[in-house]
Structure 1
């Protein structure tokens, strides 16, 4: 029945929103219950979660896969590090610049590649990831080259640095999730989805698929820039080794693990898989790649069969 379907959708949306609010409340209180090393790890986790959202929004709204988002993260990270090191500006001033630069780079990349899709677009984004370390090293007069740059400016003077790095990442992640939620329920968001799923219908309403894809890449690149900015601030250093081809691969893995979800809970699942799972496996030595691969396979299988298990349980309760 249409009414029951819409009711189930509404209840599912409310449940997801409630879970996000509860999770956010727990995360705000968490630094007072855990040690400093975990506070640092979670700050990096929040940054990686933002990167997962950057890749996921491209999949959800553009129907495309990127393996080059380390480029946009590097743009945001070095914007923060350069303004901090050269001009003494804090994250408050550099974060908006990271967002703008990431968006501009996303649009600049999308325009010449607007005719590409599928594997061809994915391979073209790979070129960005492969070029990042060399670009950083060749501009060593600005980026510090192999040695990198140190980020030391406080957002709020007098507040413990570890807490600033933790809460800056958490607030940025919540802001990105909120922005994507507003996009999802906006006219512009529906237009982007229409251009992805029904290009002919979108053209009839005056929205060309090409322009929609450029807009989605701009949004995704901007979020990637925010990811890099928070990585720089939370980690306090930036260097070429932080933005390699494998960085892009892991962001894509995190997006897959989160099943391209745009909620706080889903993003944190992807970010935690990138940040915390390797930390738990650090004592496994040569078995780390095997165990990580098994964990990845397990997450994908759980996500694949979870809806069926849930439907079975609900059907059993209804029958009882």
Structure 2
């Protein structure tokens, strides 16, 4: 993320997409306490391609020793030096010119700022893990607590810009920098799971499982990952329940405590597996379909939300929900059905 270094006190400023400098602390992003500095002295803005410096002051702004005309706009480059009011004490060096991004800024500790991905896990040593996810529909960040008490649902809450989060006793401030116009769709437009078909390819010994998503004429390879086996287990249960004629609302639900036992993991590991499934799903579609859709949770139960999938074991199609074929549930699915 774009950063300026105050050469006088060695403090860094992380640039927001529209960043102001000046003496009026309540009205600017970076406060410069100096009587020669205007209340709002200058702006640095991201135009989608470049960072632009603009002077609006009374006493001037210099770029690499050259004074800018008032309201003049200049492109910034790495290692440029910006000086406000011609005083060396107010000199800032451009450390990098990366585009703006949403991030967590450390408050009163020396940790590095955290650049947020669309779906970001914040592990904790003292409490339950936290996930921050960006919702394209509400255009906002949401906080989810991964509850290890498997009888409870995951809690979630919408976050506002500049909101304070605490992880292991350290405080972080959410800084939202993205602009609506900057959002770019890199994958086919997908707003619903109905637009996606999943294909599971698992080996005969089920030691490796590869997952594909087909959407908009594109086949997206999610590669071989250990967490695909959890998704496969949920898919098998849904297929068995579909074959048994259960209603849509009743299909595919498995108790998390049974999954934990039978897959040989603890509750925390199960939550991490679910996080990895959701994150890979989000990344593959550039966050164009909400990650919470892929795995549904309620009252200690989980299920695969999609009803459109095919399971291939070795070279044999085990089930294909798009065809009216007989589905032979796996032994695991039979056992789960009896437990549920």
Q: TM-score, normalised by structure 2?
A: 0.27
Q: Which has the higher helix share?
A: 1
* The structure with more radius of gyration: 2
Structure with the bigger RCO (C-alpha within 8 Å, sep 6+) is 1
Q: TM-score, normalised by structure 1?
A: 0.29
